[in-house]
Structure 1
Amino acid sequence: MTYFESYGPDRARDLSPEPTIHDPVSITESELGAWTEVRSGTRIDESAVGDYTYLMERVQLDYATVGKFGSVASDARLGPTNHPIDRPTAHHFTYRAAMYDMGEDDDSIFDWRADQPVTVGHDVWIGHGATVLPGVEIGNGAVVGAGAVVAHDVEPYTVVAGVPAEPVRRRFPEEIAARIEATEWWDWDHETLAERLDAFRDIDRFLDEYAPDAAAVAQTDAD
């Protein structure tokens, strides 16, 4: 579904395939997947939010794509808009000139911003107040600590924290992470997720029942 304006009144806390929006929010030229939730004070601009992902209060997305099953905490900001600091001034009157009755806007700046999108994979948790800078890619299963400033790409299933953000540890050993990622469970349909809920609560059971073994993953990578 594509949304071009702030959408809908507050809804009940129970979610549904339709996006759940808690006003006030601002959503422009963006897409929200099924079972998504957007809490109050959030702004989404030219971005896409995957199925089951939730955005807590005051999140800001600019030119960002967030995969499925994302968890984005309050006050996080993904893809904050850059100013052109190579000009005599960084102030936006040089590209939003019409606002100041100084002439036509400079669309090249908006194109420049759009060319530096943030890409976030599936099952990524972004902590409270974290900032992900333009052009960064975050892999599946990664975790970004509260208050972190992410200036470089984050490998899948890696926990990063700090300013600038640096790897702290792996969420799982590399072999286990590869087996989980190989299931591509985020693409399972709603009924399958519900049927396999107990396995999602037990990593050993999930690996035993649904993940290919390490040898099969290694062979797939080799092919």
Structure 2
Amino acid sequence: MTSPFLDASNPHPMRLPNGQINTGLVHLNRVVTHPNLTIGDYTYASAFDAPQDWAARLAPYTYPGAPERIRIGRFCQIANGVQIITGSANHPMAGFSTYPFAIFDFARLRDYVAQLGAIPDTEIGNDVWLGDGATVLPGARIGNGVIVGARAVVGGEIPDYAIVVGNPGRILRMRFAPDVIARLLALRWWDWPLDAIERATPALAASDIDALERLAPAST
């Protein structure tokens, strides 16, 4: 039997010390049904004022059926106030005016989308921590194990295990040496069976790559 905190089916996986369920923290894929969002197991989001619609809070400009998608990996941690701004938030900029006339007359919407051009998807890897109030810009590609600092504004491609801060976001440093990053990416611990992950949590907390490799399932 796995521990309660590894129950992917539980929409509210956190209990406070007094036993009360923390309704401000959710496993996102248990509360989001938005067709444009794909979210891995154990990825959670938290909010001081829990919304009724977590997808609208997280990605307010991504309407169902929008031309872009958001894909988020497993075991990500999304803090209060994080927003993912997707390409549908953009206004055409090639003409003389950026005013979005078409949103007031849907008969014009096809031309409006064509003016915007190709709208990229947004990709967020596994075990990514998006800090308080961070903003992810359209088309961002955020690698595995990345930490995005509070209030950072991040776009473009962020390499695995980078720490990104500021506006515009810049890489402050890499979390681990290149050889350790390569070993972590080869292990892909976030895809292990739950019992193996549970046994590995001390090695994960201690950054003990040798111990983590010894605990890897035979098929990894």
Aligned length: 181
Unpaired runs of 5+ residues, structure 2, are 14-25, 48-56, 61-67, 215-220
Q: Distance in 1 between matches of 2:34 and 2:161?
A: 26
Instruction: Indicate yes or no: 2:168 matched with 1:139.
Output: no
Q: Aligned to 1:16, which of 7, 11, 14? A: 7
Q: 1:53 to 1:113 in 2, by over 3 A?
A: farther
> 1:160 is matched by which residue type in structure 2?
V
Q: Distance in 2 between matches of 1:125 and 1:132?
A: 12
Q: Distance in 1 between matches of 2:200 and 2:70?
A: 30
> 2:99 is matched by which residue type in structure 1?
H
Q: Aligned to 1:194, which of 183, 195, 198? A: 198
Kept in 1, the 8 Å contact 2:204–2:212? The answer is: no
Tell me which protein shows more strand as a share of its residues: 1
Kept in 2, the 8 Å contact 1:140–1:157? The answer is: yes
Q: 1:43 to 1:78 in 2, by over 3 A?
A: farther
Q: Aligned to 2:79, which of 53, 73, 84? A: 73
Instruction: Indicate yes or no: 2:99 matched with 1:91.
Output: yes
Kept in 2, the 8 Å contact 1:158–1:169? The answer is: yes
Deviation string 1:117-148 (CA, Å, 9 cap, x unpaired) is 11111111111111111111111111111111
More contact order relative to length (CA 8 Å, sep ≥ 6)? 2
Q: Secondary structure at the match of 2:157?
A: coil
User: Residues 47-126 of structure 1: matches in 2 within 5 Å?
Assistant: 47-57=37-47, 58-60=57-59, 63-80=69-86, 81-98=89-106, 103=107, 105-106=109-110, 109=113, 115-126=119-130
**For the aligned residues, what is the CA RMSD?**
3.3
> 1:86 is matched by which residue type in structure 2?
A
Q: 1:170 to 1:184 in 2, by over 3 A?
A: same
Instruction: Indicate yes or no: 2:27 matched with 1:36.
Output: yes
Q: Distance in 1 between matches of 2:130 and 2:114?
A: 26
Cα offset for 1:164?
0.6
Q: Aligned to 2:212, which of 185, 210, 213? A: 210
Matched residue, 1:217: none
- Give % identity: 31
* More off after superposition, 188-197 vs 105-114: 105-114
Instruction: Indicate yes or no: 2:36 matched with 1:46.
Output: yes
With the length of structure 1 as denominator, give the TM-score of the two structures: 0.68
Kept in 2, the 8 Å contact 1:96–1:106? The answer is: no
With the length of structure 2 as denominator, give the TM-score of the two structures: 0.69
Q: Distance in 1 between matches of 2:5 and 2:190?
A: 21
> 2:180 is matched by which residue type in structure 1?
I
Q: Distance in 1 between matches of 2:124 and 2:98?
A: 28
Q: Distance in 2 between matches of 1:39 and 1:50?
A: 10
Cα offset for 1:111?
10
Kept in 2, the 8 Å contact 1:59–1:74? The answer is: no
Unpaired runs of 5+ residues, structure 1, are 1-12, 23-34, 213-223
